[in-house]
Chain A
Amino acid sequence: DAGITQSPRYKITETGRQVTLMCHQTWSHSYMFWYRQDLGHGLRLIYYSAAADITDKGEVPDGYVVSRSKTENFPLTLESATRSQTSVYFCASSELDRGRETQYFGPGTRLLVL
């Protein structure tokens, strides 16, 4: 049971480059989420998806793009990376109904933008 995986686990890039972070889950969960974790802010929601081809903005979506062509994948793209996007990124997934709304988190991707 692979669960939810993220790749790469660590990434160093330069300002202005495009970066894509991958997220894959094997449970066929309807919902998927992207968060960023920064010291003093806890986790903040970037984008989420309720199903394939349905995505919506979270609290901090600027500078990010998502897509969800398949239920199991939810890639996050930084179109032109900035230093302020240096962070730890977590992907999560959950089932649809109340009572089963627990989110399961991936191991995270540590991104450094130079």
Chain B
Amino acid sequence: GNSVTQMEGPVTLSEEAFLTINCTYTATGYPSLFWYVQYPGEGLQLLLKATKADDKGSNKGFEATYRKETTSFHLEKGSVQVSDSAVYFCALSARYDSYKLIFGSGTRLLVRP
């Protein structure tokens, strides 16, 4: 079945450091890929998405590119802020599977001033 694997956390960075959170997936066909963010005590919010190969999703300085050849969707940000501290979830969904989201286990990011 479909699955998502993302890097273990927590990831601890200093403010203005470069961020990469790795995400790889296993799926048949061409799923849509997502990054969701969860701030402390809140629900999940969509951060960015890509619906086909080579698409780049971007939002709030975060970017991720849908790489079909490496089945990856790594999240990057050039300069993190303290306010980016949260848990980040990589996920996929597929039309043939009723758009059910399959999530990775989440990566906690802590940004220190």
Does residue A56 face the partner (Cβ distance < 8 Å to B)?
yes
Does residue A107 face the partner (Cβ distance < 8 Å to B)?
yes
| Contact across chains for A94 and B99 when beta carbons are under 8 A apart | yes
| Contact across chains for A42 and B104 when beta carbons are under 8 A apart | yes
Does residue B53 face the partner (Cβ distance < 8 Å to A)?
no
| Contact across chains for A41 and B98 when beta carbons are under 8 A apart | no
Q: Which residue of A lies closest to B104 (CB)?
A: A42
Q: How far is the CA of A43 from the CA of B103 in the complex (A)?
A: 6
For the complex, count residues of A whose C-beta is within 8 A of B. Answer: 26
| Contact across chains for A56 and B98 when beta carbons are under 8 A apart | yes
Contact with B89, one of A43, A92, A106 (Cβ below 8 angstroms): A43
| Interface set, chain B 45-102, CB cutoff 8 A to A | 45-46, 49, 51, 89, 93, 95, 98-101
Contact with A98, one of B34, B51, B89 (Cβ below 8 angstroms): B51
| Contact across chains for A33 and B105 when beta carbons are under 8 A apart | no
Interface residues on B, range: 20 to 34
| Interface set, chain A 72-110, CB cutoff 8 A to B | 90, 92, 94, 98-99, 101-108
Contacting residues, chain A, for B44 (C-beta < 8 A): 43, 90, 92, 105
| Interface set, chain B 19-56, CB cutoff 8 A to A | 32, 34, 36, 42-46, 49, 51
| Contact across chains for B101 and A33 when beta carbons are under 8 A apart | yes
B32 to chain A, nearest CB (A): 6
**With A41-B105, A43-B101, A58-B100 in contact, is A90–B43 under 8 Å at CB?**
yes
**With A43-B89, A98-B51, A98-B95 in contact, is A108–B43 under 8 Å at CB?**
yes
Contacting residues, chain A, for B42 (C-beta < 8 A): 107-108
18 A-B pairs with CB atoms under 8 Å apart are A40-B105, A41-B105, A42-B89, A42-B104, A42-B106, A43-B101, A44-B103, A48-B100, A56-B98, A90-B44, A98-B32, A98-B95, A101-B32, A101-B99, A103-B93, A103-B101, A106-B43, A107-B43
